[in-house]
Structure 1
Amino acid sequence: MTTTPESGAHPRFADALCELGLDELLPEVRRFPEATRTAAEAAAAVGCELSQICKSLIFAVDGEPVLVLMDGASRVDIERVREELGAEKVTRAKADVVRETTGYAIGGVPPFGHRTRTRVLADRSLLGHDVIWAAAGTPYTVFPMAPAALVAQAGGVLVDVRERTS
């Protein structure tokens, strides 16, 4: 399957959208001249609230990669992830593990369309908006989607794993 260069999405992610029957999202992909690698950069580029950005973060859970989808304004509480999965040890995955698992570099990891299937946890905070924005496979591209649809496409389980604010 070939992708249209004007979509801006990473070819693997564009192919995943087509395979999932989500071709209509391709024209929605927005490419920016400046990086949207961080949630703050993405929110500034899109012109949305920080919490409307969906971060796709890979953690090593007892040595196995697990994807955690988190709103851009929050941080993942590693202890809550550990408890949720009944794991011994949870750490941030190293860059090479992220690329090997997902097929994408940190800062451009989309919520689905990965090289390998992984367990996916999605924080409930994502459901607080009508639309959220996530990486489209590169550090310069994002796409909008309804949060519940995004979580469903990612095969995510809804959990509460964000850091509690005092």
Structure 2
Amino acid sequence: MAIEVVRDYFKEFGIEERILEYEASSATVELAAQALNVEGARIAKTLSFIKEDKCILVVSAGDAKIDNAKFKATFGVKAKMLTPDEVLEHVGHAVGGVCPFGVPDDVVVYLDESLKRFDTVFPACGSSNSAIELTCEELFTYANGREWVDVCKGWE
């Protein structure tokens, strides 16, 4: 299971015990917010895109949507999301539990500015019923973030 990959990854940092698991599904922003009893905007959703045959991940706030013009200006390509099968193949996590932790080295992670308005956010941990509470600085560090980007709309 992908959550075990994430748990092993977090052992390197001594934070594996901070993973939250619950019985209810957290496969969508709404479900995760209900399970964690937080506003949906604080759910750090991880979106998977293809760029020149490589996978890139964009982690954004739960209430943010990709702005196609900003995405193209930032990455030089049209935003093309991976299919669920491609996500599993490239990232190693199934849709509903996709996160930027414990992913292959060739997957590049970007974090969207929409997250920075919160003290802490809740990304998934590889399964459809897990999360971890992290500061934005911790998220950037543990996700091996390449850089902060501004590619979303609808959250301002």
Same fold, TM-score > 0.5, yes or no: yes
Matches within 5 A, 1:58-77: 58-77=48-67
Unaligned runs of at least 5 residues, structure 1? 1-7
C-alpha contact (below 8 Å) 1:101/1:116 kept by paired residues:
no
Which residue in the other structure is 1:11 paired with? 4
Which residue in the other structure is 1:114 paired with? 103
Matches within 5 A, 1:143-158: 143-156=132-145, 157-158=147-148
Secondary structure at 1:150 match in 2: helix
Distance 2:123 2:140 in 1: 11
Runs of 4+ in 1 over 4 A off after TM superposition: none
Which residue in the other structure is 2:74 paired with? 84
Q: Is the radius of gyration larger for structure 1 or structure 2?
A: 1
Distance 1:111 1:98 in 2: 12
* Superposition CA RMSD, Å: 2.0
Q: Deviations over 1:65-105 (max 9, x none)?
A: 11000100111123312210122x33111112111111110
Count of aligned pairs: 155
Q: Which has the higher contact order (CA 8 A, sep 6+)?
A: 2
Unaligned runs of at least 5 residues, structure 2? none
Q: Deviations over 1:34-90 (max 9, x none)?
A: 210011111111011111110011011233211000100111123312210122x33
Choose from 35, 51, 54 the match for 2:41: 51
